[in-house]
């Protein structure tokens, strides 16, 4: 039995990285030997938070069974979003705020899932329940995750709990929520130096819906037209990814964080079903969806209903 390895999903976002760090620290304080690791390198938004609060990024792992037999899953539970050898280890903990699907274990485990905007909102409760003090740097990463997942409280996934917890964490971290939050979100929208292949994999998750394999990627920006100037190259990269990974459909969600509007660019089969999912019509091959900012709450559920209905 090795140490408990704690990690978020593939293509980690700020919540995936921060929840691994915050949960591993909590376990250490409770006497459990635990280490935060990651299934990918931090994106620019996450790196901004890590730098600001002077925390190192977790080491990246591709497999875990070679060094432990017990793991904790943060911000996900679905096998296709997790480490490649997840079936070879025992899942001891899950802390998540997404749907429960494609997940089963041989043994009982600690599973904490709540319909809130961010995994770190739940982890904050775990600190309180166990009477463990949250260091300023950890609080900073936790509030960064809440800001990221809720788009500074603009996302429909945001709950009153997220706002209350973020406010308390910001006090511990010594930051102004709005000033820091906008700076961090803008740091994650610098896309000009990234290739199309990198862009479509920055924040992407795989789903199975009605027998179809979907890849849904989300990119946040403050300039949608500028990003769409690269449309041909983006479509080529998405088509190549479909072919290489047996995806039926690749859905790219381009979200304007200033206007809270998303433009959807799908590539693959059954594109009419994608449009029907959102009760929308294509405009030059694009779906423009005002008010849509959340993949979890506003993109995945309607697609699931459309493909499985």
**pLDDT of the chain along its 309 residues, tens only?**
679 999 999 999 999 999 999 999 999 999 999 999 999 999 999 999 999 999 999 999 999 999 999 999 999 999 999 999 999 999 999 999 999 988 999 999 999 999 999 999 999 999 999 999 999 999 999 999 999 999 999 999 999 999 999 999 999 999 999 999 999 998 988 888 899 999 999 899 999 999 999 999 999 998 999 999 999 999 999 999 999 999 999 999 999 988 999 999 999 999 999 999 999 999 999 999 999 999 999 999 999 999 997
> Any idea which residue has 């990119």 for tokens?
219
Q: Is the CB of residue 215 less than 8 Å from the CB of residue 208?
A: no
| Structural domain total, the chain | 2
Please calculate the CA angle 50-51-54 and round it to the nearest 5 degrees. Answer: 80
Give the helix/strand (H/E) hosting 94.
strand 90-96
Find how far residue 118's CA is from the centre of its chain. 9
Q: Are residues 109 and 244 in the same domain?
A: no
Q: Full-prediction pTM beyond 0.85?
A: no
Q: Which of 138, 158, 187 is the last residue of a domain?
A: 187
Handedness of CA 209, 81, 26, 56 (dihedral sign): negative
Q: Which residues contact 10 (CB under 8 A, 6 or more apart)?
A: 39, 40, 81, 82, 83, 205
Q: What's phi and psi for 117, nearest 5 deg?
A: -80, -15
Per the structure, the complete domain to which residue 205 belongs is given by 196-308
267-295 in b/e burial notation, b at 16+ Cβ within 10 A? Answer: bbebeebbbbbbebeeeeebbbbeebbbb
**Residue partners of 278: CB distance under 8 A and separation at least 6:** 264, 287, 289, 292, 302
Same domain membership, residue 110 and residue 138? yes
Annotated binding site: 9, 13, 15, 75, 97, 149
Binding annotation for Mn(2+): 9, 13, 15, 75, 97, 149
Q: Are residues 161 and 22 part of one domain?
A: yes
Last residue of a domain, one of 145, 167, 187: 187
Q: How far apart are CA 171 and CA 161, in angstroms?
A: 16
Contact 73, 91 (CB under 8 A): yes
CB 167 within 8 A of CB 152: no
How far is Cα 225 from Cα 70, in angstroms, rounded to an integer?
Answer: 46
Judgement on whether residues 159 and 178 belong to the same structural domain of the protein: yes
Task: Check whether residue 140 and residue 43 sit in a common domain.
Answer: yes
Domain boundary among the residues 187, 208, 226 is at 187
For residues 158 and 220, membership in a common domain is answered with no
Here the CATH number for the domain that contains residue 109 is: 3.90.1640.10
């Amino acid at each position: 039995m090795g140490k408990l390895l704690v990690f978020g999903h593939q293509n980690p976002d700020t919540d995936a990285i921060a929840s691994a760090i915050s949960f591993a620290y909590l376990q250490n304080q409770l006497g459990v030997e635990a280490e935060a690791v990651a299934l990918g390198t931090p994106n620019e938004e996450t790196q901004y938070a890590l730098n600001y609060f002077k925390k190192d990024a977790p080491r990246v792992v591709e497999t875990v069974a070679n060094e432990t037999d017990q793991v904790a899953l943060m911000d996900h539970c679905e096998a296709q979003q997790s480490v490649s050898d997840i079936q070879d280890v025992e899942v001891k903990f899950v802390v998540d705020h997404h749907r429960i699907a494609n997940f089963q274990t041989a043994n009982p485990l600690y599973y904490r899932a709540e319909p809130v905007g961010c995994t770190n909102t739940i982890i904050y409760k775990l600190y309180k329940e166990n009477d463990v003090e949250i260091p300023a740097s950890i609080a900073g990463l936790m509030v960064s995750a809440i800001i990221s997942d809720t788009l500074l409280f603009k996302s429909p996934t945001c709950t009153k709990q997220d706002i209350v917890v973020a406010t308390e964490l910001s006090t511990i971290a010594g930051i102004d929520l709005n000033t820091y939050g906008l700076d961090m979100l803008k740091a994650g929208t610098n896309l000009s130096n990234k290739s199309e292949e990198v862009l479509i994999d920055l924040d992407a998750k795989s789903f199975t819906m009605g027998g179809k394999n979907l890849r849904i990627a989300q990119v946040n920006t403050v300039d949608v037209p500028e990003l769409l100037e690269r449309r041909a190259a983006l479509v080529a990269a998405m088509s190549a990814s479909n072919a290489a990974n047996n995806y039926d459909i690749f859905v790219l969600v381009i979200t304007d964080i200033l206007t809270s509007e998303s433009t959807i660019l799908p590539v693959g089969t059954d594109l009419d079903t994608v449009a029907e999912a959102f009760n929308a019509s294509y405009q030059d091959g694009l779906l423009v969806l005002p008010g849509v900012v959340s993949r979890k709450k506003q993109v995945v559920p309607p697609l699931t209903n459309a493909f499985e209905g």
